[in-house]
Structure 1
Amino acid sequence: MGGMKRDSLMAVGVFCVGLLMIFGGAHASRGYPDYMLVGPLLLVSVGVVIRRRAPVGALVVGLVGIAGDLVLGPSTGTVLIFTDNLYSAALYGPRRLARWMLWIAAPVVVVSGVVALVLNQGWISILLWTVQAGLVILTPITTAVIVRQHWDQVHLERERAEQMARLAELDRRAAVVAERSRMARELHDMIANHFSAIAIQSTAVLSRNDLETPVVRRVLESIRENSVEGMSEMRTMIGLLRQDNDEVEAVRHRLADANQLVERSRQAGVRVELRISGVPRDLPAAMDLAGYRIVQEALTNVLKHGEAKGLVSIDYEDDRIVVVIENPVAERTAVLPGAQSGLIGMKERASLVGGTLEAGPFDGGWRVRAEFSQSAAPKIPARKMDS
């Protein structure tokens, strides 16, 4: 409705200007009264009103108006408004109409030159008529076609950008699902180890009748410890997605094994330095695994995008563990475009065990910093044994 209102105001404005031009003498005189030129002016102005809502109708009333004006005048104001009728029909009308208008406009311009030649027998007249016909007929149609092509290109680019955004979101989700699936497999093995120990120890107690009370108590304490740890790992695993028919890796990886990852990187040609501060200690299994995998993924990115040099720092503090991996990178690869899925996976691992991870450029290099708090790690509170 806003566009219709604007077009109506525009039509009123150009109609008033056209009246001033008619009664001001801006028309060819063929012996007709000036007021007769108002009718064609009114028709082309109506075309301006309906230019968006009915572009084909605007072209029709415009053609009728310009035909009457050519017979009676022509009038400069009516001709100029007619150019908008042509422009609107080519821009807002069907695509086939725009093509037809363009194909018809060129012959019409040529015919106008021939008519000028027949009527005036002068090359200057031919040139003037041809140029005027081109400006009035061909220019607005060509301009509308070009603008329409730009609109189509903008629309295609917008659709392409939306598709790229959807693909990027799908890639991000796929990376999260893949990382969770991998963690689910590994956590499954850890939980299986805890409950296997429970089964073995309980079977041993049940199969022996000669065990002393202190021995039975120690075994039951071990069973209780394994069950609590197993339930803690189970809580971490809940909600993770696991793919079917995948091979299960029965390997327990620990942050304390970071030296093995460093050694592998050195064998691959990367000069990696390992610094450990504080006293290494046992960590919750999920946290241990997350720290190991973060170091592994970060060193992989160093090999892919870095300058064949890196530093791994592991700081064991009182209630937290800070893992930092730094490496210099070339200026052209400072944003590490190929590491997005790996960064998503590392952040997912850290968040699932109550930790945080930051990754980004620093002075001439790239830094990954993960922080884990043992008090924030998911765990099951110990329950008292029934007597």
Structure 2
Amino acid sequence: MTRFPRPHHHDVTIAAVGLLGGVTGWALGLRTQGGLIGGPAVLVPLTVMAGLELLRRTAPQFALVVGTFAVVADQFTTGSLVTVLMFTDLVYAAVLYGTPAAARRIPITTGLISVAVALGFLAWLHKPEALLIGVITAVISFAPATTGALVRNHRDAAEAATLRAEQTALLAELDRTQAVVAERARMARELHDLVAGHLSAIAIHSTAALSLDDPATTRTALGVIRTNSVDGLAEMRRLIGLLRDSGATAEPAAAPTLAALDALIAQARTNGAAGGLDFALHDRRPEGAALPAPIELAAYRIVQESLTNAVKHASPGTVTASLAHTGRALLVEVSSPYGNGGARPEPRAPGSGAGLVGMRERAVLLGGSFSSGPEPARDGTKIWRVRAELPLRESESQA
């Protein structure tokens, strides 16, 4: 047994008003025709049609099929205008609330039926007035069907626009979230690269000053500590200033370039002297070779972080940084002595691995590659090699 869902309260109102209006019209003697069957028989199609109004949303196609038989039966009675009006509402509801296939099929079917009725009665009666029957058929079937199709199309268009707006808002929120995450990662890389080297040098030399009872060593360590403290504080103030000043008129701060590598090597040489480290730079780039600013910044930061790691972890020896321009990419390599026996003169500074992650991210963001790890050297010792390849666009490499 088929069980229909509970009718909508608006449908209950329509059914009640229709039934009451139809009964009132019958009681007052209102009729649309002089049918074959008189008396209260007109109330039967009226009652059936009112009951079908309860199903106009929940079972619109079933209501339309049964309603069609009811409106045909009404033509054999004295007729009720309310019955016909409720039938037009069922046609409208079948298109508006029915399946998409029914919404496409019903207007076409009712249009063809209207034309067929007009032509049929014209052939039967041989009078032009017979066309009015086709017009009336179109008014009670084709007109509400097309109206329902128009309303449904507008409703579907509004729902699609709402869905697109929601999807656009969701995509915008995802983009904003991704932008925030990317900016936080960029800030983390910059903060680490700006401060990690200075703090590592401070940690190493302060430990040396505390553990070695040598006034000269202590004085040298305190000098290095003060230099790195001042430089680190200046870098922190610059970074905080950039974060605070987000106005449109703020001038961009100058990003470090590869021209400052000599100063970076000199600072690393000072920081690593107590650990028996020396530093060298081999710049094999051709004269006048221009590089994009993002490439220079990434290369500078990779060298900077590699030198910081060497100060913290390398065995005594020479740390070598080299640059090479292949025309299609900038190659950055930093090699440092690694695990070649003997303890370092000073304790190592702790590390979290964030530096390697930051260097890899910088290379990947530019479409390049990054690798790091221990390798055997030519003299039988071991070295820790950091290698990054930063690709250049053809137009930039030939600039």
TM-score (norm 2): 0.54
Distance 1:85 1:207 in 2: 95
Asked if residue 116 in structure 1 is aligned to residue 131 in structure 2, the reply is no
1:297-334 deviation per Cα after TM superposition (whole angstroms, max 9, x unaligned) = 835899xxxxxxxxxxxxxxxxxxxxxxxxxxxxxxxx
Asked if residue 32 in structure 1 is aligned to residue 37 in structure 2, the reply is yes
2:69 paired residue among 54, 64, 71: 64
Distance 2:170 2:237 in 1: 32
Aligned to 1:187: 191
1:40 shift after superposition: 0.7
1:164 paired residue among 164, 168, 178: 168
Identity within the alignment, %? 36
Asked if residue 78 in structure 1 is aligned to residue 83 in structure 2, the reply is yes
Aligned to 2:154: 150
1:172-214 deviation per Cα after TM superposition (whole angstroms, max 9, x unaligned) = 11221121111111111233222332255347647965417xx
Paired residue total: 247
Aligned to 1:363: none
2:57 paired residue among 52, 61, 69: 52
1:208-248 deviation per Cα after TM superposition (whole angstroms, max 9, x unaligned) = 65417xx848956975997xx79xxxxxxxxxxxxxxxxxx
Structural mapping, 1:236-385, within 5 Å = 285-292=235-242, 298=248
Indicate conservation of the 8 Å contact 1:14/1:45, yes or no: yes
Aligned to 2:21: 17
Aligned to 2:100: 95
Distance 1:94 1:184 in 2: 55
Aligned to 1:7: 11
1:15 shift after superposition: 1.1
Indicate conservation of the 8 Å contact 2:8/2:57, yes or no: yes
Indicate conservation of the 8 Å contact 1:102/1:138, yes or no: yes
TM-score (norm 1): 0.56
Q: In the alignment, residue 51 of structure 1 is paired with which amino acid?
A: R
1:120 shift after superposition: 3.5
Q: In the alignment, residue 174 of structure 2 is paired with which amino acid?
A: L
Aligned to 2:178: 174
1:136 shift after superposition: 0.5
1:167 shift after superposition: 1.0
Distance 2:211 2:32 in 1: 119
Aligned to 1:136: 140
Distance 1:162 1:113 in 2: 48
Aligned to 1:126: 130
Q: In the alignment, residue 168 of structure 1 is paired with which amino acid?
A: A
Distance 1:139 1:180 in 2: 61
The Cα RMSD (Å) is 3.5
Distance 1:207 1:76 in 2: 108
1:94-141 deviation per Cα after TM superposition (whole angstroms, max 9, x unaligned) = 111222212211111112212332344321x13422221111110111
1:79 shift after superposition: 1.1
Structure 1: runs of 5 or more not aligned = 231-251, 254-281, 303-387
Over alpha carbons, which structure has the higher Rg? 2
C-alpha distance 38-201 of structure 1, shift in aligned 2 (>3 A): same
Distance 1:45 1:218 in 2: 102
C-alpha distance 3-49 of structure 1, shift in aligned 2 (>3 A): closer
SS state of the match for residue 32, structure 2? coil
Larger mean CA deviation between 18-27 and 161-170 belongs to 18-27
Indicate conservation of the 8 Å contact 1:17/1:77, yes or no: yes
